[in-house]
Structure 1
Amino acid sequence: MKTIAIIPAKSGPGKKNKNIDDFIGRPIISYSIEEAKKSKLFDMIHVSSDSAEIVSVAESLGADVSFMRPKCLSKNKTSLFSVVEWTLEKFKKRGEEFDNVFIIFPRSPLLCAIDFCKAYELYNKNSRECNIRVVSEAQSRIEKYFRCYDNILVPVDKKNKHINTENLNPAYYEVRAFSISPSDVFLKNKMHKDIAYKIPLIKAINVEIDENIILAEVLYKIMHG
């Protein structure tokens, strides 16, 4: 069984080359690459990018950058599915095929190799016939949420809005960290059930939001002594 890690890291949108922003003295993408290497799970760690600067950083860290992503697959509306499908097909044409696909996001500095290993164990326990999604428990129950229209609050769940929180089931949201799937999800459009790999809130900080970077740096220093 061969496993590939694909790290999608295009130059945009918004701030150019944000995937190599400084994070505690290192390009932020380096944390994803280094932890993937430490896990020893992968036959290939490939960084998919349209940016020469990102490719240069990834190559210096030992990631595969043997081909760049074309501009037609680097637009804001391009789906991640299309990028992974194209990447796997590109390797297939070169005679390299993979059974399992990790998608590791480039701005995930709070995750570590043990997360990849534990999630892969969960994947194997389900006979590799599933998608592993990283989730974290929402701080509030979904029945307690509101939508806001012209500053008027409308309950998401009018029926259950008055039920005590302790009597409601926890809700989870997907964290932009990594996922695991069989390659046939991308190459044959085969559907599989989704299984949760749960992480604590401390690891689920969204560093796509600039205001969270300082908090993430503090948490990283605490977690790593």
Structure 2
Amino acid sequence: MKVLAIIPARGGSKGVPRKNIRKFDGKPLLAYSIAAAKESKNISKFVVNTEDEEVAEIARNFNCDVVMRNPEIAEDHSKITDTVIETLNYFERKNQYFDAVVLLQPTAPLRKGEDIDNAIRLLQSNLETDAVISMVKVEDYHPARMYKFQNGYLNSLMPDYETRNRQELPELYLRNGCIYLIRTSALKREQSLMPEKKIPLIMDAKWAVNIDTEMDVIILEQLLKKWKKQVS
């Protein structure tokens, strides 16, 4: 299976300005995704996709190829699917074709090459599956503890489980943003990274972090200290 890894790294960001090149433990954020792609034994090619020249230069400094993005799909409201398809089209125009694409978001950096390879093996061994999405088990923030506030009153999202003990709640999973692996045929057919037929790659929830706010920055800085000890 030929797999293309795409690391999307826009230059713009409102919540955490220039977050993809912001340094964490001395390295820009996107460097952690590049490192994971390099560690993978099953990725055929990996690239950073960006519209920003500074981001592109940093990626090249970490020995990563770059595909420049059309600025029209590099806005806050742009769909990441468009970026993935644009990158695939770029390579197909050069007669380079891939069976699957894996999206490695820089904002969810705590993953290893082994995690990516586990996802690829899952896809290879499940022929009826179109995608493998990394997930973590929901614990404290279970939907059974969540409510809508409507017409002046709280309404449970899961009324049948509203008063149940934690041990009685159904197992649910949350996307952690680390890995989106999808067959190219399904991506083109459904125009989505979340096709109908998908299965989970369950990852450790203690490493789940997505950099969207300055609080996330603080969390990542603390997690990185423990993460480095684990992977060293």
1:7·1:46 contact (CA, 8 Å) conserved in 2? yes
1:108 positional shift: 2.6
1:149 positional shift: 5.4
1:22 positional shift: 0.7
Q: Indicate the residue corresponding to 2:98 in structure 1.
A: 98
Q: Secondary structure at the match of 2:159?
A: coil
CA distance in 1, matches of 2:211, 2:8: 16
Using the size of structure 2 for normalisation, the TM-score is 0.88
1:208 positional shift: 2.3
Matches within 5 A, 1:2-151: 2-14=2-14, 15-65=16-66, 67-127=67-127, 129-140=129-140, 141-148=142-149
Q: Indicate the residue corresponding to 2:169 in structure 1.
A: 168
Q: Indicate the residue corresponding to 1:216 in structure 2.
A: 220
1:17 positional shift: 2.5
1:46 positional shift: 1.1
1:151 positional shift: 8.2
Q: Indicate the residue corresponding to 2:199 in structure 1.
A: 195
Q: Which amino acid aligns with 1:17?
A: R
1:158 positional shift: 2.4
2:109·2:178 contact (CA, 8 Å) conserved in 1? no
2:108·2:176 contact (CA, 8 Å) conserved in 1? no
Deviating more after overlay: 149-158 vs 116-125: 149-158
Q: Compute the RMSD of aligned alpha carbons.
A: 2.0
CA distance in 1, matches of 2:179, 2:92: 23
Tell me: CA distance 1:7–1:128, structure 2 relative to 1, closer, same or farther (3 Å): farther
1:139 positional shift: 1.7
Structure 1 portions without partners, runs of 5+: none
1:102 positional shift: 0.6
Deviating more after overlay: 50-59 vs 111-120: 111-120
Q: Which amino acid aligns with 2:45?
A: M
Tell me: CA distance 1:222–1:150, structure 2 relative to 1, closer, same or farther (3 Å): farther
2:129·2:198 contact (CA, 8 Å) conserved in 1? no
**Residue by residue, what CA displacement relative to the aligned partner does 1:88-136 show, whole Å, maximum 9, x if unpaired?**
1121111111111010001233211111122222122212732111111
Q: Which amino acid aligns with 2:205?
A: L
Q: How many residues align?
A: 224
Deviating more after overlay: 53-62 vs 180-189: 180-189
1:133·1:174 contact (CA, 8 Å) conserved in 2? yes
Using the size of structure 1 for normalisation, the TM-score is 0.91
CA distance in 2, matches of 1:153, 1:16: 36
CA distance in 1, matches of 2:151, 2:68: 45
Q: Which runs of 4+ in 1 moved over 4 A?
A: 149-152
2:9·2:50 contact (CA, 8 Å) conserved in 1? yes
